[in-house]
Amino acid sequence: MNAQTIEKYFVPEPSIYPIIGSISLLLLGTGASFWVNSLAAGPWITALGFAVLLYMLFGWFGAVIRESETGKYGKNVDSAFRWSMGWFIFSEVMFFAAFFGTLFYVRVISVPDLGSEVGQIFWPGFKAAWPSAGPHATEAFESMTWVGKSTLAIVAVIAAAAMLTFAHGPMEKGKKGQLQIMLGLTLLIVVLLLASLSVSWVPVINTALLLASAVTLTWAHWSIRQGNRGQFNLFLALTLLLGVVFLGCQVYEYVHAYSELNLKLTSGVYGATFYMMTGFHGLHVTIGAIMLAVMLARSLSGHFTKDRHFAFEAAAWYWHFVDYVWLLLFVVVYIL
């Protein structure tokens, strides 16, 4: 092999940001410990930890962006970034798997066991039905009860997930017509999903919003691969807008559940699992929206080309992951 064809692996300059990140984690841990023990300095140390963390994130990511934009990265670094993002998303999969596993254990094993003949010895009168706050419940609440055609909704969710997954094949092969058909069918499924409702219901609207955002994001990806920056910016902005509307609807849902349904974190195991699963998903949507906003700002600044845009792809992977998690969460938390 000719020596000139061998790509040199980029080795970054020594960086102070890992040390700064360690300091921020130390401050956050110390501040949280002080805070839970009612020490006055706790909130201030925690705030300082977040400030140092933000400084590290802006500085470190800024350095990476400058290195990328000055052409210092090659195929080896690109491959390393892809593997790193892939493993990060895998860790997120395991994170949510713990919550889904908890819900499965509670509904399939724990609650039925408490209502069994042996369970009645310890908790007489407890009924093994879901939703349940558990045998210690003393305060009544209403659950987020499904109000539409459940079978149609589940089929629509599965079909939409399949369409979005297979749509990436035509995109990779440059087949515009096939991609348009699959994305159009996904939007049609969104309409069918909304038709499965007997009344307007926020979780279904949120599902439609995230499915629509996956469509606009996929088309934005197609656009940047074709070198169409204007179209890329437009559909990326639409994706970001749909994500923000989703978060607004979730805030409305929480206010409604807390004030009108009396559903709280303290509402036994149902309230705990509901808010933990939907709340952490909302946090991930927020993080994804921030990532997309940064990608939009970078694109408006002239970053990315049709051949070099992995930062956007990484954000897109994360957003699609958030979409898939919501589809599963929608089925097991709200419908089943």
What's the rounded Cα separation, in Å, for the pair 51 and 29?
Answer: 14
pLDDT for position 268? 85
The confidence score (pLDDT) of residue 1 equals 44
Q: What is the pLDDT of residue 196?
A: 66
Predicted local distance difference test score (pLDDT) of residue 198? 55
Instruction: Tell me how far the alpha carbon of residue 10 is from its chain's centroid.
Output: 32
**Nearest residue to 171 via CA among 191, 192, 186, 154:** 186
Measured distance CA(120)–CA(223) in Å, rounded = 61
Query: From CA 73, how far away is CA 11, in angstroms rounded?
Result: 9
Tallying the residues shown for the chain, one arrives at: 336
| pLDDT for res 275 | 93
- State the fold for domain 84-335: Four Helix Bundle (Hemerythrin (Met), subunit A) (1.20.120)
pLDDT in tens, 296-326: 999 999 999 988 889 999 999 999 999 999 9
Query: Whole-model pTM?
Result: 0.89
CATH of 15-72, one of 1.10.3470, 1.10.357, 1.20.1250, 1.10.287: 1.10.287
Question: What is the C-alpha separation between 65 and 59, in angstroms, rounded?
Answer: 10
Query: Is the four-CA dihedral 236, 238, 241, 242 of positive or negative sign?
Result: negative
Bridge partner residues of 197 (DSSP) = 148
What are the residue boundaries of the structural domains of the chain, listed by start?
15-72, 84-335
Question: Which portions of the chain are predicted below pLDDT 50?
Answer: 1, 3
Contact 241, 219 (CB under 8 A): no
pLDDT at position 151, please? Answer: 75
